[in-house]
Amino acid sequence: MSACAGSMLNFAEHGVHLIEFGSGSSQKVRHLLDTNKNIVAYTAIDISREHLVESCARLSREYSDISVSAICADYTKEFNLPKLPFPKARKVGYFPGSSIGNFLREEAVEFLKRAGELLGPNSQMLVGIDLKKDREVLEAAYNDSQGVTAEFNLNILQRAVKELGVSIDIERFRHQSVYNQEIGRIETHILSTEVQSLDWRGKIINFDAGEKIHTENSYKYSIEEVHALASDGGYLVETSWLDEKSFFGVHLLALKE
């Protein structure tokens, strides 16, 4: 994004209205806001209301020449866009990172179809998609030596203890990610290191040593599969930007007429 952002949205006679699905802290979008002066409006969609309002208020102060709005919604469900500013601006959906890989393929297709219906005719999508690569590279990334992914994954147990009152010793579990090459996805688990039980509201759940909780999938795509995914979702791949190793791609998709 930082290397190629300036060439991603340099089109549209009446400007671009960027609409981000799952905006979070709205950090990645700054690359686009800084380098594409034809962006006239930005709308963030996220399910976390407090975080959403805070990040959009900050963007509004820092990018005073851009109309910033916020919509609190679950972008994986049906919802309607309210009347947005700059009706003549080209609507471009923004879905960076590699979040589309967390959907099953049929779910990813449905997401693209819903986005197209939501944004309307002549709209586009700018989507980040993690690409297929060697098993060793993928598994090293998802079992990183600094333990970043492990901390993220095991946080599920932390929340279970704090928010659900589950009685569990988190130290008896560990993070594990493996690449299923046949399906083309990273499969992330929480693995019990020993025979143990947890108590949730009087219900006892037993674990064998080595038993796993499957917490997340992350699908990887070849370039050919990116084009097929886009097509099934109602789009054509207009332009792609890849890093020098072709590990990751950002793709500008245009709705089929």
- Do both 15 and 105 map to the same domain? yes
Instruction: Say if residues 38 and 16 touch (Cβ distance below 8 Å).
Output: yes
pTM as predicted = 0.91
How large is the average pLDDT for residues 238-248? 96
* Residue 132 per-residue DSSP state: P
Q: Confidence band (pLDDT; 50, 70, 90) for 13?
A: confident
Instruction: Say if residues 235 and 255 touch (Cβ distance below 8 Å).
Output: yes
- Which amino acid belongs to residue 52? L
- Do both 68 and 116 map to the same domain? yes
> Which region among 135-139, 166-170, 184-188, 250-254 has the lowest average model confidence (pLDDT)?
166-170
- Do both 189 and 113 map to the same domain? no
How large is the average pLDDT for residues 99-108? 96
Angle, helix 223-232 to helix 105-119, in steps of 10 degrees: 50
Which residue intervals of the chain are DSSP H helices?
29-35, 49-62, 105-119, 135-142, 148-164, 223-232
- Do both 37 and 94 map to the same domain? yes
Q: Is the pLDDT of residue 124 over 90?
A: yes
- Do both 41 and 152 map to the same domain? no
As given in the structure block, the two tokens for residue 106 are: 């049929």
Q: Confidence band (pLDDT; 50, 70, 90) for 206?
A: very high
- Do both 18 and 118 map to the same domain? yes
Look over the chain and give the mean of its residue pLDDT values, rounded to a whole number.
94
Q: What's the pLDDT score for residue 179?
A: 98
pLDDT digits (tens, 9 = 90+) for 48-101: 999 999 999 999 999 999 999 999 999 999 888 888 889 899 999 999 988 999
How large is the average pLDDT for residues 183-211? 94
Domain with 143, as residue range(s), is 135-219
- Which amino acid belongs to residue 176? Q
- Do both 160 and 250 map to the same domain? no
How large is the average pLDDT for residues 3-21? 91
Domain with residue 25: its CATH number is 3.40.50.150
Q: What's the pLDDT score for residue 10?
A: 84
- Do both 225 and 142 map to the same domain? no
Closest CA to 248 of 148, 141, 175, 112: 141
CA end-to-end distance (rounded Å), the chain: 28
> Which region among 40-44, 162-166, 193-197, 236-240 has the lowest average model confidence (pLDDT)?
162-166
Residue 176 pairs with which residues in a beta bridge?
189
Q: What's the pLDDT score for residue 199?
A: 87
Q: Is the pLDDT of residue 12 over 80?
A: no
- Do both 115 and 213 map to the same domain? no
- Do both 232 and 141 map to the same domain? no
Q: Confidence band (pLDDT; 50, 70, 90) for 234?
A: very high
Residue that has been written with the tokens 């952002």 in this structure: 5
Q: What's the pLDDT score for residue 194?
A: 96
Q: Give the number of domains in the chain.
A: 2
Instruction: Say if residues 149 and 177 touch (Cβ distance below 8 Å).
Output: yes
